[in-house]
């Protein structure tokens, strides 16, 4: 059977490496950082690990309604397409810096793209 993207990309250790890079990029982006200002380090690590695991098609328990609920406050605080696009671009750049092959970056991008309506509560 074809392995999942999560397995092909390197599983949990690939998630960890990506989160470390992504974290810096998100928090250094003045348009995105304010959305994360209420969370402590441990929470941020957990939610970003969950985000990257999802993006890699790995094991996670989020359904459409859960994604809507966890992003509702952000939506009410102005979360929109530009923030979504910027987050996806940071993820792509983090993966590039880790030398992930472009076809896998594309696959992860498609998974992330499939969550847009839920994350933005559209
Ligand atoms: C690009 C697609 C995105 C996906 C697939 C995604 C996915 C997730 C997941 C799985 C969590 C963890 C939820 C939990 O606590 O269990 C989360 C939390 C969070 N996300 Fe996203 N996210 C995305 C985009 C964004 C964007 C663009 C922002 C804002 C710039 C954002 C802000 C947050 C915040 C603030 C939390 C913590 C919420 C809380 O625990 O109160 N997310 N996200």
CATH number at residue 9: 1.10.490.10
State the pTM of this model.
0.95
Does 83 contact ligand 1 (Cβ within 6 A)? yes
Does 44 contact ligand 1 (Cβ within 6 A)? no
Q: How far apart are CA 49 and CA 2, in angstroms?
A: 24
pLDDT digits (tens, 9 = 90+) for 30-78: 999 999 998 888 999 999 999 999 999 999 888 888 999 999 999 999 9
pLDDT digits (tens, 9 = 90+) for 4-29: 999 999 999 999 999 999 999 999 99
Query: How much distance in Å is there from the Cα of 92 to the middle of ligand 1?
Result: 16
Quote the pLDDT of residue 40: 87
Does 84 contact ligand 1 (Cβ within 6 A)? yes
Identify the domain containing residue 32 by its residue range.
5-119
Quote the pLDDT of residue 67: 95
Domain tally for the chain?
Answer: 1
């Amino acid at each position: 059977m074809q392995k999942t993207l999560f397995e092909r990309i390197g599983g949990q250790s690939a998630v960890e490496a990506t989160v470390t890079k992504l974290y810096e990029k998100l928090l250094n982006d003045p348009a995105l950082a304010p959305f994360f200002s209420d969370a402590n380090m441990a929470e941020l690590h957990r939610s970003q690990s969950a985000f990257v695991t999802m993006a890699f098609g790995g094991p996670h328990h989020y359904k459409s309604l859960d994604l809507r609920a966890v992003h509702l406050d952000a939506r009410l605080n102005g979360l929109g397409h530009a923030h979504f696009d910027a987050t996806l671009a940071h993820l792509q750049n983090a993966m590039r810096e880790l030398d992930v092959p472009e076809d896998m970056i594309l696959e992860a991008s498609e998974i992330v793209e499939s969550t847009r309506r839920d994350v933005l509560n559209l």
